[in-house]
Amino acid sequence: MSRIKKLVMATNNKNKLREAREIFSPIGIEVLSQKDLNIECDPEENGKTFAENAKIKAEALYSAIPENIAVIADDSGLCVDILNGRPGVYSARYAPDGQKCSKLLDEMKDIPDDKRTAYFECCIAFIDENGEYKSFSGKCMGKIGYEEKGTNGFGYDPIFVYGDKTLAEMSAEEKNNISHRGNALKELYKYLKESE
């Protein structure tokens, strides 16, 4: 069991919130949104790494909430090896939603199969109810496909191939079991259990 039963997620991305809830609700941790607390928070993400940006978001929300409640923030993105890790921390800004996958497929159109390796990375910044900060990260290794497949998930899921499927062809449970976000949140949960 975790000593933390409730936390608020510093995000404006409803898919991240949904995935965090899918992972944490069954183990007894309620994930509130900024909206649930009537807080608007969207700090400038000017860090150079996922960890820096996650910390910026977590600290901004922590200082905006009136009560002492634990906070998590997720900064994540897709890193393509042949593109030297791009779009990386710029994944959200790479193209508007709905054009991200097609733009990346276009950039990758002449890249052969063995050079299409990529990974998702997620950094979770956690600030507990006493203001103590810790960070956790997770990765998911895969490949960039040749076309968009599947309608589940969000962002780059339709072109990210893991095993023989894209993440958008997986159920929520299947994705959460192997995803960067799932792996990072599992690390956080392990810490919460150990630090009881």
By annotation, the residues acting in catalysis are 75
Q: Does 153 bind ligand ITT (CB under 6 A)?
A: yes
- Side-chain-side CA neighbours of 123 within 13 Å: the count stands at 20
Q: Does 75 bind ligand ITT (CB under 6 A)?
A: yes
Break the chain down into helix, strand, coil percent, rounded to 5. 40, 25, 35
Q: CB-wise, 40 or 194, nearer to ligand ITT?
A: 40
Nearest to 121 by CA among 35, 44, 49: 49
- Could you tell me the smallest distance in angstroms from the CB atom of residue 59 to ligand ITT? 13
Interface segment toward ligand ITT; rule CB under 6 A; list 20-28, 63-71, 106-114, 154-162: 154-162
Nearest to 149 by CA among 163, 139, 133, 138: 163
Q: Which of residues 27-56 bind ligand ITT (CB under 6 A)?
A: 45
Q: Binding ligand ITT by CB under 6 A: which of 58, 70, 77, 169?
A: 77
Q: Is the peptide bond before 87 cis (omega within 30 degrees of 0)?
A: yes
Amino acid identity of 169?
E
Q: Does 12 bind ligand ITT (CB under 6 A)?
A: yes
- Angstrom distance (rounded) from CA 13 to CA 32: 13
Q: Does 191 bind ligand ITT (CB under 6 A)?
A: no
Q: Does 155 bind ligand ITT (CB under 6 A)?
A: yes
Q: Does 169 bind ligand ITT (CB under 6 A)?
A: no
- Could you tell me the smallest distance in angstroms from the CB atom of residue 19 to ligand ITT? 7
Q: Binding ligand ITT by CB under 6 A: which of 157, 170, 185, 192?
A: 157
Angle at the Cα of 77 from the Cα atoms of 76 and 81, rounded to 5 degrees? 140
Interface segment toward ligand ITT; rule CB under 6 A; list 5-13, 130-138, 144-152, 184-192: 5-13
Q: What is the dihedral of CA 90, 14, 160, 189, to 10 degrees?
A: 100
76 strand-pairing partners: 122
Q: Does 156 bind ligand ITT (CB under 6 A)?
A: yes
Please report, as ranges, the residues that interact with ligand ITT according to CB under 6 A.
11-13, 16, 45, 74-78, 91-92, 100, 120, 153-157, 167, 179, 181
